[in-house]
Amino acid sequence: MPRIKKELQEVKKKKRKKMTSVQVIKGMKDILPPEQLFWDYVIENSRKLCKDFGFGRIETPIVEQTELFQRGVGDNTDIVEKEMFTFETQGKDRISLRPEGTAGLVRAYIENGMSKWSQPVKLYYEGPMFRYEKPQAGRYRQFHQFGFEIFGDEGSAIDAQVIYLAWKIFQKLGIKDINIQINSIGCAECRSSYKKLLQDYYEMKINKLCIDCKRRLDSNPLRLLDCKEEKCMQVATSAPQIIDHLCVICHDHFRSVLEFLDEVEITYVLNSRLVRGLDYYSKTVFEVWENNSEGGQSSLGGGGRYDGLVEMLGGEETPAVGFSFGIERVVESLLKKEIQLNYNVKKEVFLIQLGDKARKKILRLFDKLVDSNITVGESLGRGSIKSQLRMANKFNSKLALIIGQKEALDNTVIIRDMESGMQEVIVMDSVIEEVKKRLKG
């Protein structure tokens, strides 16, 4: 007997293994109902604030031509070099799953003639992005971003408004211990001379650089300031600061942005090594960092100005600025804080049934209640009245409508006041009016 029992256990183990062999792709995850509550909370609050600030929602495809990201994001960025999911179609077109949202929005702005709209054009978006990077805590190969962009205004007040809206969203969500890291990387004109200074500095330190930074030194020297390798970060501490080499226009623009932030009392930190990882940025760049309980910091999102991108992708010269944050990271922060969400699970009416004939009647009644804009709950899979009444209490229902075999045959309904326990039998045809009257009372 012990041997047979052991063999049966082995068979069960093999079956379990076989059943669980199909798993989610590495770096991707399921978002289950309990967590969706937090996702809805983040998205709904972010949407509302964007609408309050005059932004309209836009949705772009998750697949675009690979060329869009090569030209917009930059050939020499990690995203294009290492992280894009790129495919060739049957028609030999090169397409990619979008790794970020801004390039697609710029393409939509140009293609749909938004330059003819009243300027500035304010847009917000949300949805999945894809990057083939090494999965780690808070980073996924399919991740989700919420972002907003303003096209057609070069004023420093617009930069400040985008930063203020980003700050406002996190405050609204309950993530209040944050700081704004901010810098200016100038325009193409003042960056040109600065890049030469940077290259000269790093040439003398080349033996201390990582392989990627040695490769980037000629093609994209600004990225060396953003490298997360410890030895490269040490070299960057003594590198020339771009803030000291801005042209007059960029210097005045940045000073004005900071003055606007001072006016609305937003705390910021000047970070001379902040350049962001994408080629399209110019002038103001910023990131939002959360101070965590361990004394460290983690980035929630970032953005900045990209005045040359619309023209680079074939449109008219158009100033633009934007921001985006990772929804996964924000939800993770909320879960760590154990924030309790106040959400309404109340169902005004709960339907209770006993038997197959009653279930059929319940389905029709459910439909009528929904059409009458009455919030209604049910538990068709449960058999006992006791368990269904517990569900009605869970949903804070004011009324329970009970149909058993007798009521199904008589075409009647028992209406029960959940607070007093009083019950009354009424005919089916008058149940909707009776429910409305009692709910109103």
Contacts of 45 by beta carbon, 8 Å cutoff, 6+ apart: 169, 172, 173
Q: Which of 286, 309, 336 is the last residue of a domain?
A: 336
Q: Which residues of 35-61 are buried (b: 16+ CB within 10 A; e: fewer)?
A: beebbebbbeebeebbeebebeebebe
165 and 59 within one domain: yes
370 and 314 within one domain: no
Q: Which of 315, 336, 357 is the last residue of a domain?
A: 336
371 and 330 within one domain: no
- The answer to whether residue 301 sits within a structural domain is yes
264 and 408 within one domain: no
42: tokens are 């983040």
- The answer to whether residue 208 sits within a structural domain is no
Asked whether the CA dihedral 378, 387, 33, 41 is positive or negative, the reply is: positive
264 and 145 within one domain: yes
- Answer yes or no: pTM beyond 0.85: no
154 and 58 within one domain: yes
179 and 86 within one domain: yes
Q: Which residues of 201-228 are buried (b: 16+ CB within 10 A; e: fewer)?
A: bbeebeeebbebbeebbeebbbbbbbbe
Q: Which of 336, 366, 394 is the last residue of a domain?
A: 336
For the chain, what is the domain count? 2
Contacts of 390 by beta carbon, 8 Å cutoff, 6+ apart: none
| CB neighbours of residue 107 within 10 Å | 20
Helices (H), 112-220: 156-173, 188-203, 211-219
How wide is the angle at C-alpha 52 spanned by C-alphas 50 and 53, nearest 5°?
A: 65
Per-residue pLDDT of the chain (441 residues; tens, 9 = 90+): 445 445 546 655 655 555 557 898 888 899 998 888 899 999 999 999 999 999 999 999 999 999 998 887 765 566 666 688 888 888 889 999 999 999 999 999 999 999 999 999 999 999 999 988 776 666 789 999 999 999 999 999 999 999 999 999 999 999 999 999 999 999 988 888 888 888 889 889 888 889 888 888 887 888 888 788 888 888 888 888 888 899 999 999 999 999 999 999 999 999 988 887 666 789 999 999 998 756 566 889 999 999 999 999 999 999 999 999 999 999 999 998 887 775 556 889 999 998 888 888 888 899 899 999 999 988 877 668 888 888 888 888 999 999 998 999 999 999 999 999 999 999 999 999 999 999 987
266 and 383 within one domain: no
CB 299, CB 292: distance < 8 Å:
no
State the residue range of the domain holding 361. Answer: 349-440
Q: Is 283 left (phi over 0), alpha (psi -120 to 50) or beta?
A: left
- The answer to whether residue 224 sits within a structural domain is no
- The answer to whether residue 16 sits within a structural domain is no
166 and 258 within one domain: yes
- The answer to whether residue 269 sits within a structural domain is yes
366 and 316 within one domain: no
CB 15, CB 9: distance < 8 Å:
no
The CATH number given to whatever domain includes residue 354 is 3.40.50.800
- The answer to whether residue 2 sits within a structural domain is no
377, 379, 385, 387 alpha-carbon torsion, rounded to 10°? -100
175 and 138 within one domain: yes
β-bridge partners, 63: 97
CA 80 – CA 268 distance, rounded (Å):
31
- The answer to whether residue 4 sits within a structural domain is no
DSSP string, 69-106: HHHHT-TTSHIIIII--EEE-TT--EEEE-S-SHHHHH
416 and 320 within one domain: no
Residue keyed to tokens 């771009």:
242
- The answer to whether residue 11 sits within a structural domain is no
241, 243, 248, 249 alpha-carbon torsion, rounded to 10°? 130
The CATH number given to whatever domain includes residue 318 is 3.30.930.10
